[in-house]
Chains A and B, each alone.
Chain A
Amino acid sequence: MTVYVARRLLLSIPLLFGITAIIFFLAHHLPGGPLAMYLNTASVTAEQLQHLTVQLGLDKPVYVQYVEWLGRAVHGDFGRSFADGRPVLAVIFERLPATLELMGASFALSAILAFAVGITSALRRDSLFDYAVTVISYAGMSMPIFWLGILAIMLFGANLHWLPTAGMGTAGQPYSLSDNMRHLILPMCVLAAFTLAQESRYVRASMLDVVGQDYIRTARAKGLAERTVILKHALRNALIPVVTVMTLDAAYLLSGALVTETVFAWPGMGRLFYDSLREGNYPVVVGIAVMVSVLVVLLNIVADVLYGVLDPRIKYH
């Protein structure tokens, strides 16, 4: 297992070369060039721009810049934010907890509900409940996330005044956990909608598949309690394909978080990316794009490893 993980990590190195190269070259071709953010500022003279160009090594060929950038990036140096001159990594790490809080909460919510709903739906196949779940999950998978966010704000914020609709906490008040949680509810539910719809269908299909197997009939014939049959014998096997989907959904949540954070003014990494791209703060844009891609690569490895943990029949080479 350790050898397998080590091998997968080593194999992902060329992958990361490709990813960083694409992002770096794209960022280099952004309109106005790498210093676009300064071009519109009247107080920056042509000489200062020239000086900056030389200082940041922007006069060299792109591939040289890429190699130099990569050399610094592996040491954790992604350059400095154009907005305030702070190191990019520090700026990103400041926003990372907010994104992880939102993504983690949504991931947990959709996973727990997906199991509850999916199992019930499979056990009561063709019931009214099952039918309702199918219709709702179709709706959930077709719902544009930003529109769901707007509707949630309209209903629960603007009309009912039940929940706050912007930020992570009430402005001007000291941080408190309950206040933070109240702010989390709407964005968490909105972000979880798509993955919940998708995962509950997977759980249902996987459960239906497993419940028809011979070993389930054996377990029942042995006289085991129905609860034990479902939760211990069926669920463990039904988990295998579902966990892969859930881990890959975590990657989807990154894109979803960008939209959700923008709609709900949630101060996370996705919103920072959006703001930085609008401002032309390219070092931050590149830093975040690389960061989220590394997260996806790691999540894919986690998915494969989990697959083996859940299904001991799979041997790693």
Chain B
Amino acid sequence: MIDALSNQPGPIEALATEAEPIQRRTFWHRFFRRRNAVIGSAILIAVTTICVLGPMLWAKNPTAIDFLAFGKGPSLHHLMGSDDLGRDELTRILYGGRISILVGFLSMVIGIGIGGTVGAISGWLGGAFDFVVMRVVDIALSIPSLFLLLLLSVVFPPGVLSIAFIIGITNWMRPARLMRSQVLSLKPREYVEAAHAIGSPPWRILLRTITPNAVAPLIVDGTLLMGQAIVTEAVMSFLGFGVQPPIPSWGNMLTNAQTFIVSMPWLAIFPGFMVFVTVLGFNLVGDGLRDAL
């Protein structure tokens, strides 16, 4: 009897242990009740799995040349056909997908990282610092993105990491504005005042009290940003300013597609379709998150 009683958690403990899972359950519940979110998640899981695991199952070399298959259409031997140099299109799609997802993820981390930090500090400090940062945001937003991206891509040494870095540092402005407005709206809340009152140092309040409550819009923006970064990488590589051959990327696989548009149409269809489907996945999940959060 006494044992049973002592195992019963007190009212405060009960709140602490149960409140969080309930909230989490309702979030995922809301998220997966939306058809968009389910379709988007399915697309992203499928694309990621195929690109990460695919090369282990479809063991071909993306740069290996098959002399018996110059520009052959899809067949059992080459499921998506082969390109003008006799390289297996499916293998290149899989390796290209790894590059795309890597670039998308890294640029998202860089963009959200810079934007979130700058925006949080700017909103927290206010005053002259905030004014200057927001004017820098205005300036950065005024140069049409693709023009700036192409300029940057010529200045930085070519390479996958450079591309991710360039796309990241040109996409920090929107997260910065989002984070700043979040911090501004949370600053006067009671629990922030309470944190001040118990003597927490400012950096700790910003990091521990405000940030956890401010990240929701950043998560949505980060999801959409990953999709945009993948298109951006594809456009840059298509124009010849992104990932350089022989490293395959969905974008640079389309560079020559226009030349072979009649003779090898599959070269123009598959890489673009992969970009389209992946970006669609990110957009659907992003919207689903926005509705659920």
Contact = CB atoms under 8 A, between A and B. Distances in A.
A76 interface: no
A146 B146 CA distance: 13
Interface string A14-31: 110011001100110111
Contact of A151 (B139, B150, B234, B268): B268
B257 A150 contact: yes
A138 interface: yes
A52 B145 CA distance: 32
B258 A139 contact: no
A45 B49 CA distance: 56
B231 interface: yes
Contacts of B273: 147
Interface residues of B, number: 41
A150 B261 contact: yes
B272 A150 contact: yes
A3 to B, nearest CB: 21
A263 B238 CA distance: 10
A278 B148 CA distance: 15
Given A138-B283, A145-B235, A154-B265, A14 B144 contact: no
Most buried by B among A143, A144, A289: A144
User: SS class of chain A's interface: helix, strand, loop or mixed?
Assistant: helix
A289 B143 contact: yes
Nearest to B231: A144
B138 A15 contact: yes
Given A26-B151, A150-B254, A296 B143 contact: yes
Nearest to B272: A147
A296 B272 contact: no
Contact of B261 (A27, A138, A153): A153
A208 B230 CA distance: 32
B160 interface: no
Contacts of B280: 138-139, 142
B283 A22 contact: no
Contacts of B283: 138, 141-142
A259 B150 CA distance: 11
Interface residues of A, number: 46
Contacts of A151: 268-269, 272
Given A146-B238, A147-B275, A158 B261 contact: yes
Given A18-B135, A146-B238, A255 B275 contact: no
A19 B139 contact: yes
A120 interface: no
B155 A29 contact: yes
A146 B144 contact: no
Contacts of A159: 262
B235 A146 contact: yes
B222 interface: no
Nearest to B234: A144
B235 A154 contact: no
Contacts of B144: 251-252, 254-255, 292-293, 296
Contact of A150 (B145, B258, B262, B279): B258
Interface in B251-293: 254, 257-258, 261-262, 265, 268-269, 271-273, 275-276, 279-280, 283-284
Contacts of B46: none
A26 B151 CA distance: 7
Contacts of A254: 144, 147
Interface in B145-165: 145-148, 150-152, 154-155
A259 B143 contact: no
B227 interface: yes
Contacts of B257: 150
A106 interface: no
A293 B150 contact: no
A189 interface: no
Nearest to B275: A144
Contact of A259 (B136, B151, B239): B239
Interface of B: 135-136, 138-139, 142-148, 150-152, 154-155, 227, 231, 234-235, 238-241, 254, 257-258, 261-262, 265, 268-269, 271-273, 275-276, 279-280, 283-284
24 contacts: A26-B155, A29-B155, A30-B151, A30-B155, A139-B276, A139-B280, A142-B276, A142-B283, A145-B235, A146-B272, A147-B271, A147-B273, A147-B275, A154-B261, A159-B262, A251-B144, A252-B144, A254-B147, A255-B144, A258-B147, A258-B150, A263-B258, A274-B239, A289-B147
Interface of A: 14-15, 18-19, 22-23, 26-27, 29-31, 138-139, 141-147, 150-151, 153-154, 158-159, 251-252, 254-255, 258-259, 262-263, 273-274, 277-278, 285, 288-289, 292-293, 296-297, 300
Which 7 pairs show the lowest CB-CB distances between chains A and B?
A: A147-B272, A255-B146, A18-B139, A142-B280, A142-B279, A254-B144, A255-B144
